[in-house]
Amino acid sequence: MQTLIVNDNIYTSRNNIGSIGGFYQFRGDPEKRVFGLTNYHVAQIDGICTAGQKAFGINSNEGIGTLFSWFRLESDIVNSFDLALVNLDKTLVRPLWGLDTAGYAVPAIDQEVRLMNRREIRTGFISNVNSGEFSVTIAGTDYRIGNLIQITSANDLPFSEHGHSGSVIFSDTNQLVGVLVGGDPENRHLSYVMPFLDRRNRKGILNSWALEVADL
Q: Where are the domains positioned within the chain?
A: 9-98+205-213, 112-195
Most confidently modeled range among 9-18, 53-62, 78-87: 78-87
* pLDDT averaged over every residue in the chain: 90
For residue 86, name the pLDDT band (cuts at 50, 70, 90).
very high
Residue 149 has pLDDT above 80, yes or no: yes
| CATH code for residues 9-98+205-213 | 2.40.10.10
Among 105-114, 166-175, 180-189, 196-205, the least confident range: 196-205
Q: Which segments within the chain are labelled E, that is strand?
A: 9-11, 17-19, 23-26, 35-38, 54-57, 63-70, 78-79, 84-88, 112-116, 121-128, 134-138, 141-145, 149-153, 168-171, 176-183, 190-195, 211-213
Q: Does CATH place domain 112-195 in 2.40.10.10? A: yes
Residue 174 has pLDDT above 90, yes or no: no
Is the pTM here over 0.85, yes or no?
yes
Residue 132 has pLDDT above 80, yes or no: no
Q: Taking residues 184-189, what's their average pLDDT?
A: 91
Amino acid, single-letter form, for residue 106: V
> Which is higher by pLDDT, 92 or 58?
92
Q: Taking residues 110-115, what's their average pLDDT?
A: 96
Q: What is residue 102's predicted lDDT score, i.e. its pLDDT? A: 63
Q: What is residue 60's predicted lDDT score, i.e. its pLDDT? A: 67
Sheet holding 17-19, edge to edge: 17-19, 9-11, 54-57, 63-70, 84-88, 35-38, 23-26, 211-213
